[in-house]
Amino acid sequence: MMVKEISRACPRCGAAANRVNTVTMRHHLQYPFSADSLDKEFFYCRDSLCESGYFSTKQAYPISELQSQAQIRGGMICFCFGITASDFQVYQESDQAEVFFKQLDHLAYNCECHCKIKNPAGRGCLKVFKSMHA
């Protein structure tokens, strides 16, 4: 089931937060948690410096309660292939951003990406990298 693109402001920092599917959350919340108690509409803050993880109108799970907290705090953007913001910055600084995008496209099309479950935001990384491209 595809999640309709809905956003809401993060209650902690005010940044835009996108709706995430519960299947994504189940792969990132630390054990034990009760999947039965999850609200139907959760959001994930887009601000990488914010301590919010998932939140709804009734519940909140900070980044410290996510299995992927070290990766998030380490600047991971592509959770499928382990690419961080600093990895991308190296390509940009050496004027090789287009090479980076070709390599990422090649990986994405020739391997199975599992962004929906591997990325705590439940979405792909390409838009994030493109927004960082100067």
**Residues 124-132: contacts with CB within 8 Å, 24+ apart?**
125/77, 125/78, 125/79, 125/80, 125/83, 126/101, 128/77, 129/77, 129/78, 129/88, 129/100, 129/101, 129/104, 130/101, 132/85, 132/88, 132/92
Mark out the alpha helices in 46-96 (DSSP H runs).
69-73, 85-93
Ordered alpha helix ranges (H), the chain: 22-28, 69-73, 85-93, 97-110, 115-118, 126-132
Show me where the domains of the chain are located.
1-73, 75-134
C-alpha 97 chain-centroid distance: 21
Can you tell me the distance from the alpha carbon of 33 to that of 111, in angstroms, rounded to the nearest whole number?
A: 31
pLDDT tens, per residue, the chain with 134 residues = 444 567 789 999 999 999 999 889 989 998 887 666 777 789 999 888 899 999 998 888 999 999 999 999 999 999 999 999 999 999 999 999 999 999 999 988 888 789 889 999 999 898 889 998 86
CATH 3.50.50.60 fits 1-73, yes or no: no
